[in-house]
Structure 1
Amino acid sequence: MTDTKIAVIGGSGIYDIDGLQDAQWTTVQTPWGAPSDALLTGRLGGVDMVFLPRHGRGHVHSPTTVPYRANIDALKRLGCTDVVAVSACGSLRETMAPGDFVIVDQFIDRTFAREKSFFGTGCVAHVSVAHPTCPRLSAACLQAAGDTGVTTHDGGTYLAMEGPQFSTLAESRMYRDSWGADVIGMTNMPEAKLAREAELCYASVAMITDYDSWHPDHGEVDVTQIIATLQKNATHARALVAALPALLGGARTPCSYGCDRALEHAIMTGPDARDPDLLARLDAVAGRVL
């Protein structure tokens, strides 16, 4: 049994955690470069918490330039056990309206300009992301979201696009009609894949801000509309985060879904053929198995 340490990765509109005790911004160095920003550490409800602003304070990183590997490494290096990603998204479903939350359980990764793995030449590993989010952690997020009063959908497929431009109408229709995606965003990939490689439980809370461009009654995405909805969503998101310590508890048993053992049989490269320099960079992410 270990101590729970909850990490919250805040997306657009979420830049801190309310009520955090002993709060301090901590600079973390990683072998993958600097994270998006310093990390806010403290305790909430008797449970250790870490907050990371995905885009940096002031929103300085685009979805493509977010240092995803450094972010996940920093969370692992600080001893985090559970990662809750909060993100602004567009909706591809009439029933998932702006202001609603979706507890994502699947992804379609359409990003192409980002480093997507900690592993590579000199240490090859293949983890399963068939089920890319942790059902236990997602269930806690579902309950916490529901308790805030916000309309919350249990399950949904998140289409991760490269951005930073929004979708064309043709793309939006394809993602919705042909591919079966439910929400669209720009930041949960490769974040979810890297969290799995780092053996971290990961849950995704999508905060819907708009109907993307497919909806015949709403037209193209308007940034002013998104910001207005973001501000409303942020209140519910903060309440969700505040409820997590009580739901997850301070003591943590091994994940019943195996998220914290994802590397158990994943590394393919034999010990004698492994690159020492890469192994050194993997000290936090894969130290348990290496």
Structure 2
Amino acid sequence: MERVIGIIGGSGLYGIEGLDNGAWVRVTTPWGDPSDEIFTGTLGGVKMAFLPRHGRGHVYSPSTVPYRANIDAMKRLGVTDLVSVSACGSFREEMAPGDFVIVDQFIDRTFAREKSFFGTGCVAHVSLAHPTCPTLSAACFAAAEGVKVHMGGTYLAMEGPQFSSLAESKMYREHWGADVIGMTNMPEAKLAREAEICYASVAMITDYDSWHPAHGEVDISEIIATLGANSEAARKLIANLPGKLGAAHESCEHGCNTALDFAIMTAPDKRDPALLARLDAVAGRVL
């Protein structure tokens, strides 16, 4: 099948350049409006779709991002490979501000967000043991240029919008084994799995959170300064992705595009027609 690469850009990344036939398009979903219009076009002969997670002008807080609408919209545009780019703090000395981490695990500490497309009337349970796609993650690692990249890491997703207390930062680092901390990859990764889209997370480190004795509390001015350099490196990574992945998307050997095969539990005669109608894009293959 044809590959469509989706990019969800976080803080500091509100657009991408160089797309042929680029245009902002509005996508409507049964889950409400996405964060913004989606910029579509082709790059290196591969279709691309870019969505600014917080909206142009940074309108949405981490808690109010319309995650379900964003993932549904990407699915409706035919996205097969979805790359999340987001800012984060680091719990590891060797993972320094300015570095990138290709995340492969999550700890979800969010509590104020809708986390599933499914529910009463159509219950489903997908496996999230391995929440990112190894093939897409490897392509992101190979596409990085001019930046130090760490392959693998655990992302602690906090609710926000405030940054961590010192006690929380030490707990996440010393007792929970987290490597980086951010506010937006959950429930995004869970929803991408439910929508059967290959998902990879590129975490751009901006600071050491608040645990580091030489850095103290998070300084927003320093974060913004680091974001500038990180965003340029992220644009290079995105520009290199089509060449690493190619224009054809084969069936994912890790099962990302068949995640719903045995996930739906509700008997066909007990399923809610209204909910099924909302699931037409994300679960149409199995429903």
Normalised-by-shorter TM-score class: over 0.9
Alpha-carbon offset, residue 30 of structure 1: 0.3
Q: How does 1:1-290 map to 2 (within 5 A)?
A: 2-145=1-144, 148-290=145-287
- Matched residues in 1 for 2:248 and 2:176: separation? 40
Alpha-carbon offset, residue 137 of structure 1: 0.1
- Matched residues in 1 for 2:249 and 2:68: separation? 25
- Matched residues in 1 for 2:108 and 2:20: separation? 37
- Matched residues in 1 for 2:249 and 2:188: separation? 23
Instruction: Describe the SS at the equivalent of 1:31.
Output: coil
User: Partner amino acid for 2:75?
Assistant: K
- Matched residues in 2 for 1:18 and 1:175: separation? 37
- Matched residues in 2 for 1:6 and 1:106: separation? 21
User: Partner amino acid for 2:170?
Assistant: R
Instruction: Describe the SS at the equivalent of 2:221.
Output: helix
User: Partner amino acid for 1:226?
Assistant: I
| Aligned residues between the structures | 287
- Matched residues in 1 for 2:271 and 2:63: separation? 30
- Matched residues in 2 for 1:50 and 1:16: separation? 10
- Matched residues in 2 for 1:149 and 1:254: separation? 31
Instruction: Describe the SS at the equivalent of 2:282.
Output: helix
- Matched residues in 2 for 1:235 and 1:12: separation? 12
- Matched residues in 2 for 1:229 and 1:262: separation? 37
Deviation by residue 1:242-288 (Cα, 9 ceiling, x = unmatched) = 00001100011100000000000000001000000000000000000
Instruction: Describe the SS at the equivalent of 2:48.
Output: strand
Alpha-carbon offset, residue 18 of structure 1: 1.4
User: Partner amino acid for 2:263?
Assistant: A
% identical aligned pairs: 75
Q: How does the TM-score come out when normalised to structure 1?
A: 0.99
**Farther off after superposition, 102-111 or 18-27:** 18-27
Task: Point out 4+ residue stretches in structure 1 off by more than 4 angstroms.
Answer: none
- Matched residues in 2 for 1:251 and 1:236: separation? 25
Q: Where does the alignment leave 5 or more consecutive residues of structure 1 unmatched?
A: none
- Matched residues in 2 for 1:252 and 1:30: separation? 24
User: Partner amino acid for 2:39?
Assistant: L
Instruction: Describe the SS at the equivalent of 2:123.
Output: coil
Q: Where does the alignment leave 5 or more consecutive residues of structure 2 unmatched?
A: none
Deviation by residue 1:88-131 (Cα, 9 ceiling, x = unmatched) = 00000000000000000000000000000000000000000000
- Matched residues in 1 for 2:185 and 2:198: separation? 14
- Matched residues in 1 for 2:22 and 2:87: separation? 25
Task: Give the alignment's Cα RMSD to 1 decimal.
Answer: 0.4
- Matched residues in 2 for 1:135 and 1:41: separation? 25
Alpha-carbon offset, residue 149 of structure 1: 2.2
Instruction: Describe the SS at the equivalent of 2:281.
Output: helix
Instruction: Describe the SS at the equivalent of 1:3.
Output: coil
- Matched residues in 2 for 1:141 and 1:284: separation? 26
